[in-house]
Amino acid sequence: MPPAAKPLFCYVTDRRALGRAQSAAADFSKPSILALRAAIQNAAAAGAAWIQIREKDLETRALAELVRHAIEDTQAAGARILVNDRLDVALAAGAGGIHLGEKSLPLEAVARWRRSSGRTDFQIGVSCHSLEAARAAERGAADYIFFGPVFATPSKAAFGPPQGIERLREVCASVKIPVLAIGGVNFENARACLDAGAAGIAAIRLFQDAGNAAERLRAV
């Protein structure tokens, strides 16, 4: 039998949570950007093959600058930089793809642009919270999906109660594109997600809060 595929780890950034973890008095301005750059670099070095830049409150120029720095800072590790929502920023900064949420650009429009541009290397991902949405993303030419929240987590409370491992298993078995589990995933439950068929996991705190992420990811 061929060797099992290496799990795909994606660090989803949240500089505000990073600032709160570092200082109760954080002002979330330039110092937090510097801390976020360090966190991105550390996550890539630890084994995060994808980094999703999800800083929705940054204005366009600052976001594009952050993406450019992230590409430069993770070049040695070979990480792919994805931008949340902003196709314009992703293209201007030279990112490797875009991740679409429920209120982002329509998947069909982005996929149509990719076909016409010939940018087959540019990845398109979609956040899904149901089996129907996952199937629709696959039909719409998404390259991968985030599915969740699998477990309880404050950052995903707006998307409803946890989906659970069995629903994750159902989604993974129903689509052919990679499914990354998201929402409350940590070092203790990550293996259960992979055993359910997930190609990998996406997380914020797993990378931002763990000082020994590289060692613990190797054990997943």
Give per-residue pLDDT as tens, 151-196: 987 665 666 689 999 999 999 999 999 999 999 999 899 999 999 9
Domain boundaries of the chain, sorted by first residue: 8-218
- Look at 98 and 28; give whichever has higher pLDDT: 98
Predicted confidence band at 142 (pLDDT cuts at 50, 70, 90)? very high
Contacts by residues 130-135 (CB-CB < 8 Å, ≥ 24 positions apart): 131/167, 131/170, 131/171, 131/174, 134/171, 134/174, 134/175, 134/179, 135/174, 135/175
In this structure, what token pair is assigned to residue 212?
């020994």
Predicted confidence band at 87 (pLDDT cuts at 50, 70, 90)? very high
CB 197 within 8 A of CB 3: no
DSSP string, 61-129: HHHHHHHHHHHHHTTTTTPEEEEES-HHHHHHHT-SEEEE-TTSS-HHHHHHHHHHHT-TTSEEEEEES
Residue 72's nearest CA partner among 37, 34, 119, 32 is 37
pLDDT of residue 23: 45
Q: How many CB atoms neighbour CB 139 within 10 A? A: 11
pLDDT of residue 159: 60
Predicted confidence band at 211 (pLDDT cuts at 50, 70, 90)? low
Residue 155's nearest CA partner among 201, 203, 197 is 203
pTM for the full predicted model: 0.89
Indicate the DSSP class of residue 4: P
- Beta-carbon-side half-sphere exposure of residue 10 (alpha carbons within 13 Å): 28
Classify 8-218 by CATH class.
alpha beta
pLDDT score of 148 more than 90: yes
User: How do residues 36-50 score in pLDDT, each as one tens digit?
Assistant: 999 999 999 999 999
CB 53 within 8 A of CB 70: yes
Query: Which of these ranges, 89-98, 133-142, 209-218, has the smallest mean pLDDT?
Result: 209-218
**Percentage of the residues of the chain whose pLDDT score is greater than 90:** 74
